[in-house]
Amino acid sequence: MKTILKNAKRLLSSNEMEACEIVINGNRIDKLDTVIAEEADKIIDLKGKLILPGFIDVHIHLREPGGEHKETIISGTEAAARGGYTTVCAMPNTNPVPDSKESLTAILEKIRTDALVRVLPYAAITKGLKGEERTNIKELSEIGAFAFTDDGVGIQTADQMLRAMKDAAACGTAIVAHCEDNSIVYGGVVHDGEVSERLNLPGIPSITESVQIARDVLLAEKAGCHYHVCHVSTKESVRVIRDAKSAGINVTAEVTPHHLLMTEQDIRENDADYKMNPPLRSKEDQQALLEGLLDGTIDFIATDHAPHAADEKAQGFLKAPFGIVGLETAFPLLHTNLVQTGKITLQQLVAWMTNKPAEVFNLPYGTLEEGSIADITVVDLEKVSVIDKNSFYSKGKNTPFQDWKVKGIPVLTIAEGNIVYKEDIHG
């Protein structure tokens, strides 16, 4: 099957744009030029829209198996495709947990039959994510685990983390960490700051995150392991990671769109669509996160897409689960609020959502060039849209960005040469 994408633009490293047409042959980009005069099975006129590499998100929750009322592999990958993502990495907090050869194999098989885009599953560091008995990292890595994490819970003992890091280093795989010291969380549900006082809610101190990162970077240095920090949210965490990188420690980090675009001040009332872990932090933290991205301390952006059922989120901050959805809104939100306001360039945003995560995890994706896998996202930078959770393909509607006006909606997503989303595909 030969497809030609006509009349488009592509983004150059100089942040300028040039005319671009692409020939897709099977699952590869066969030719890329300003004008292509060839016959094809299918010709798509993109009418001046922007062609980008397919987005990569190394931190999402698909909930299946065990949480299908929140999300499934089908619905989650449909949401990913609509958001322009062609590669997503699924966290292991499912039931059963991918902590054995049998459970990981079952998830890989379900992905093979159901996924609309590429899904790379994590395996757990400890059995059942309980922080006690370690999994067989070597065996799970050989089967196809993307990397290892107990996401949602921090590894509480240094001994357990060091042993896991040594196992991962021996296999050439990464330890990926949700950093949270449970002994100083104090039952918090929002950031320990002005809003926790105003709404009379228990606060999560910043130190719960940064103190565990400080421990872990030293353990990673000792183990010789690639250590990746999930959803960095505090200025202290940025400082620790910056210091560790300058010391030559193999640490990388991600930040979410919601921590870049919102602060605790956006929480006006007891609305759990603003409840996530780590929580929305202070203005100073938000500024440190952006500075960390810009100076390379933080390597890229990941959504932490975490769908929940409406009745679960309706319980308010004290009882509702942590998490918001993000796959369908990430690019337009970031383009509108960071690129169009001049805080970052479009080229920087695209790199943080494509080639940067690919480089960190040695993935052969995230580029737009002849011979590369045909993972392609086309965005409309001009059309103004309004975020409407009721139109989400995800089962989760839990977003704090309802009714935000945005520019930069993905209109076509191609994964390995196949059209997996087209703006009007569902009528």
Residue 424 in this model has a pLDDT that exceeds 70: no
Instruction: List, by residue number, the catalytic residues.
Output: 304
Per cent of the chain over pLDDT 90 is 96
Residues 6+ apart with CB under 8 A from 351: 300
Per cent of the chain over pLDDT 70 is 99
At 339, the pLDDT band (50, 70, 90 cuts) reads very high
At 425, the pLDDT band (50, 70, 90 cuts) reads very low
DSSP H/E element including 101: helix 101-114
**Model pLDDT for residues 226-246, shown as the tens digit of each residue:** 999 999 999 999 999 999 999
Cα dist from 408 to 19, 330, 333, whole Å: 18, 10, 8
**Model pLDDT for residues 146-204, shown as the tens digit of each residue:** 999 998 888 899 999 999 999 999 999 999 999 999 999 999 999 999 999 999 999 99
Distance, CA of 334 to CA of 406 (rounded, Å): 9
Would the pTM count as exceeding 0.75? yes
**Model pLDDT for residues 360-404, shown as the tens digit of each residue:** 999 999 999 999 999 999 999 999 999 999 999 999 999 999 999
pLDDT number for residue 154: 83
pLDDT, mean over the chain: 96
Determine how many CB atoms are found less than 10 A away from the CB of residue 408. Answer: 23
pLDDT number for residue 153: 87
